[in-house]
Chain A
């Protein structure tokens, strides 16, 4: 085989014994991961990696961050991401790369020239292994922030309580990000369910301060602009006293101590609307 490589011994050995090395590497990694990935899948993954490393070496290079290893790097990032999602530890992923060193050692480290190239190659693999750790951390961060978003979605359910009545049981605190989500979901649900009444229940909101109040008022105004009637329910006695002392006024927005009172009131109004409709008054 012809190569411009500065390490002919290494490249020749890696090329000539590809299948044997790959099989040993797959075997070693498979043992480390204790069968949590099938050997066939591992063999395919590691095979791609092996070939791309070999192509990089062929281009006369040991610089893991250089252009010749761009393909290797993207394969490793891909590998690291999928391992992170499958719950493997970053150490296990890095060890998958490092273990190629042990596979090659007996064949290369025997004579002087081979040993020198082996050392350089080992350093390259160390670098590549560390790269998987960086990618792993980044992937975990992405997973965490997308989970936080999902949690936000989950913790702001908007439900159809009855024909024409939508309920928003708020739990926790109401900051700007959450208000935005609540508002969008409420308006969309009003349209989707063809509802005319919305009940925002704050039984699960421990502290109603000026920020929460301001966000509640904004949400009510938005719902009213869609032609819906809006009620705030679940105002516990201690919250009522605190709101009054703070000086917050809910103006003409109807409020109720309990969700069931609010629902009863809303149903009465829905029935009245229907009766008016039937009489052709509207």
Chain B
């Protein structure tokens, strides 16, 4: 996935420390998606992915920061969202991305499902924390 870090200079930010913050992060992403004129189906998929990643960040990463920005690339526009936590990291990424695998009491579909819901998906994880970055392109 391309580096869209520069876009984050003008990003909207929500710190996530409890479950109502996850709702706020979701609303921030929805507002950006609506403003960029994204179709309802794409909006819903993006917002749902943000909900999954935001909650993972809260539950397994001990909270963190969600940043979102509108980006353009090769004539198309989309929404870029980054989820950054300072938690313990994901031990086995392949396992974590397996449908139905959960270390807790979830359905084990959040991470793998979020990946299917967006166009670009990238995870950077280690003992110092986890950063998940996603892009959903417009229309």
Contact = CB atoms under 8 A, between A and B. Distances in A.
Interface of A: 173, 175, 206-211, 213-214, 237-239, 241-242, 245-248
Given A237-B41, A247-B99, A247-B113, A242 B48 contact: yes
B106 A210 contact: yes
Nearest to B23: A173
Contacts of A242: 41, 44-45, 48, 117
B139 interface: no
Question: At the interface, is chain A mostly helix, strand, loop or mixed?
Answer: helix
B19 to A, nearest CB: 6
Interface of B: 19, 23, 26, 30, 40-41, 43-45, 47-48, 51-52, 55, 99, 106-107, 109-110, 112-114, 116-117
A248 B45 contact: no
A214 B26 contact: no
Contacts, number: 61
B113 A238 contact: no
Given A208-B48, A242-B48, A248 B109 contact: yes
B117 A210 contact: no
A263 B50 CA distance: 33
10 contacts: A207-B47, A210-B109, A211-B55, A211-B106, A238-B44, A241-B44, A242-B117, A245-B117, A246-B116, A246-B117
A211 B48 CA distance: 11
A247 B112 contact: yes
A175 to B, nearest CB: 6
Given A245-B117, A246-B116, A247-B116, A209 B110 contact: yes
**4 A-B pairs with least C-beta separation:** A246-B113, A238-B44, A209-B51, A238-B41
A44 B19 CA distance: 48
A245 B113 contact: yes
A213 B112 CA distance: 16
B110 A210 contact: yes
Given A173-B23, A246-B48, A238 B109 contact: no
A179 to B, nearest CB: 13
A242 B51 CA distance: 12
A245 B30 CA distance: 18
